[in-house]
Structure 1
């Protein structure tokens, strides 16, 4: 039932109105304990810059989101180096970018991003950045409830190794599993180059749904 509703909402649109969202592309992810493990941070940044070039050519809005933790905290201290954007992205910031500071996993929770998107007629958000296993996942899930179509660029989002009382998985496995999970219901997942081609044509990315993903040959 969820899948059919989502498929209807995210079905092919002749001319998606996109915004490119840079999620937490911050220095914190270049160092321990949250260093991106897969894909490599430098490879993710290459793809993010490719997406930025395509967005500029297409004239679509860009949103730059940064996560803020508590002042003096161990990660994302708003006054610390980890809060800052990665230098490659900081060097590309443009006056027209929408800047957002968030304090929750989702880019929409406690921010003015949703009304800003609505005012501009955006119906499709393209997510790049960090992490696949936290803020990308949370944002895509909330996007469904908001009626927004979400795209995730698989080679422009990174993951970390995870180990806790519930189990463990290395970053490659985390990334692969989450891309399949997202594409099964919450987002259209594609490589950056595929997205760039779709953007140049004003075309949607192909999407799937939960039922199709569940019955596909394994």
Structure 2
């Protein structure tokens, strides 16, 4: 028996430090992802899908997202459109020490569509946590973004990190799609394509 999809759009950490600030997103190009975040928010409003704005606020001594700084403020793409619920957090997962889960379940939300930043940190951890809490997850790959890393374990470009994270998400945790595909899905009511670890692995070893 098919369950009726009741979505919420979760707009994660679209803050100034990620848009040319102290921790700039570089892939996909941030201008592209910002435009798609705006499109997703507009479509959600038109379809009656509640929008949740999430904001990461760190201590005043932090090098980014520091409390009271311009970098920590939500970007105008979000503030100009407004939201149905607001969540402030200080950890990657949007569910940690917040009322998000209770708010969603009170409204019988079944599916979370995630946009925002960063793909491989707050987006990924929130998607995993959502699955563990019984939600279905959709991830809009071109309405999110990554940045490069270099540390003891090695280095990776923003494009590599974003691509690999979306592959991992699609294999178990979320239906990964473009913003355009998501708009078509909410218009038609069609279920997005989901996958499994086993099937993803089989395609890899068979070169499909």
Q: What is the TM-score when the length of structure 1 is the normalising length?
A: 0.90
State the SS of the aligned residue for 2:96. coil
1:47 maps to which of 32, 36, 46? 36
Q: Check 1:100–1:30 CA distance in 2 against 1; reply closer, same or farther (3 A cut).
A: same
**1:65 has 2:54 as partner:** yes
Q: Which residue of 2 aligns with 1:167?
A: 154
User: What does the per-residue CA deviation read over 1:153-195, in whole Å, with 9 as the maximum and x for residues that have no partner?
Assistant: 0000100011111011101111110100000011110001101
Distance 1:172 1:214 in 2: 22
Q: Contact 1:161–1:170 (CA<8 Å) still a contact in 2?
A: yes
**1:191 has 2:178 as partner:** yes
Distance 1:13 1:179 in 2: 26
**1:25 has 2:18 as partner:** no
After the TM superposition, which residues 36-115 of structure 1 pair with which residues of structure 2 at under 5 Å, given as runs? 36-94=25-83, 97-115=84-102
Structure 1 gap segments, 5+ residues each = 1-11
- What is the deviation of 1:84? 0.6
Structure 2 gap segments, 5+ residues each = none
Distance 2:82 2:60 in 1: 24
Higher relative contact order (CA 8 A, sep 6+): 1
List structure 1 segments (4+ residues) > 3 angstroms apart after TM superposition: none
State the SS of the aligned residue for 1:126. strand
1:153 maps to which of 119, 140, 146? 140
Q: Which residue of 1 aligns with 2:188?
A: 201
Q: Contact 2:95–2:101 (CA<8 Å) still a contact in 1?
A: yes
Q: Which residue of 2 aligns with 1:118?
A: 105
- What is the deviation of 1:40? 1.0
CA RMSD in angstroms, aligned pairs only: 1.4
User: What does the per-residue CA deviation read over 1:126-156, in whole Å, with 9 as the maximum and x for residues that have no partner?
Assistant: 0000000100110011112101111100000
Length, aligned pairs only: 205
Q: What is the TM-score when the length of structure 2 is the normalising length?
A: 0.94
